[in-house]
């Protein structure tokens, strides 16, 4: 029996990626590690993010004897993958905003990227746009507030639709026809986003592409007990714990940040 697949995010957004991976690899054990003590990552300095993520992920990958690490966070993926790959001998998969498929899908050649402020301003993101969307007008929308709304939604709290619509109003006004959800939190409230933007705007995220990559890297037969374990850096409320139980998690643990 192989070690679990370790999926990491700042909060619950990475569950959108975990769901896609589980569709393709249902027999595996999974550990979902989320650094909710430092949420949202889009507001952290680059050095704080790199130091904290690398220490936390490597510590738990080694403790769990994980078979692969999935960094299911766009903000972290733009910065920490090289150092993680130096520290670990197992494969490390990150999340890339779906700029390329968005550019191919758009008929207007006018697309948008909705992400955290950190992801929006990274050189990494600009390089993706230059490489894969050179024939498109690309609008960039940065928000950390939407991350917190997604957290509230998954924790079974009522989200402020007025605040949601204020965040999305510039996107609606931009007249794009494809919107890239460049933060793994955002697919968790894709229905609410789509309801406001309307059917004329297609939403794209990277979950399926990440799952395809993980399945390719774990091409040998790996089996487990289909266990789901959740680890977090700050105590979670009952609403979120209930949501995780409904999702299938059976083990919960508070972990220490050691950076």
Q: Which residue numbers are catalytic?
A: 73, 183
Is residue 180 a contact partner of residue 112, using CB atoms and an 8 Å limit? yes
Is residue 26 a contact partner of residue 248, using CB atoms and an 8 Å limit? no
Hunting for tokens 């993706």 — which residue is that? 128
DSSP letters for the chain: -PPPEEEEESSSTTHHHHHHHHHH-TTS-EEEEE-GGG--GGGS-HHHHHHHHHHHHHHHHHHHT-SEEEE--HHHHHHHHHHHHHH-SS-EE-----HHHHHHH-SSSEEEEEE-HHHHH-HHHHHHHHHH-TTSEEEEEE-SHHHHHHHHHHTTPPP-HHHHHHHHHHHHHHT-SEEEE-STTGGGGHHHHHHHH-TTSEEE-SHHHHHHHHHHHT-S-------EEEEESS---HHHHHHHHHHT--EEEE-----
């Amino acid at each position: 029996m192989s070690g679990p697949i370790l999926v990491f995010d700042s909060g619950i957004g990475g569950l959108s990626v975990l769901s896609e991976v589980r569709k393709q690899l249902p027999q595996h054990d999974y550990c979902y590690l989320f650094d909710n003590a430092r949420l949202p990552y889009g507001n952290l300095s680059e050095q704080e993010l790199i130091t904290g993520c690398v220490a936390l992920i490597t510590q738990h990958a080694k403790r769990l004897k994980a078979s692969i690490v999935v960094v299911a966070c766009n903000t972290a993926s733009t910065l920490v993958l090289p150092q993680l790959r130096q520290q670990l001998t197992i494969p490390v998969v990150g999340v890339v905003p779906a700029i390329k498929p968005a550019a191919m899908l758009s008929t207007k050649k006018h697309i948008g990227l909705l992400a955290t402020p950190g992801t929006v301003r990274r050189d990494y993101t600009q390089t993706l746009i230059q490489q894969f969307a050179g024939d498109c007008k690309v609008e960039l929308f940065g928000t950390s507030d939407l991350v917190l709304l997604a957290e509230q939604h998954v924790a079974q709290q009522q989200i402020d639709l007025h605040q949601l619509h204020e965040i999305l109003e510039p996107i609606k006004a931009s007249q794009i026809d494809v919107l890239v959800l460049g933060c793994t939190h955002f697919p968790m409230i894709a229905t609410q986003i789509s309801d406001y933007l309307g059917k004329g705007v297609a939403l794209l995220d990277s979950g399926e592409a990440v799952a395809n990559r993980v399945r390719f890297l774990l091409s040998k037969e790996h089996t487990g007990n289909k266990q789901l374990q959740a680890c977090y850096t700050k105590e979670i409320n009952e609403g979120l714990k209930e949501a995780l139980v409904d999702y299938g998690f059976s083990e919960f643990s508070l972990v220490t940040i050691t950076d």
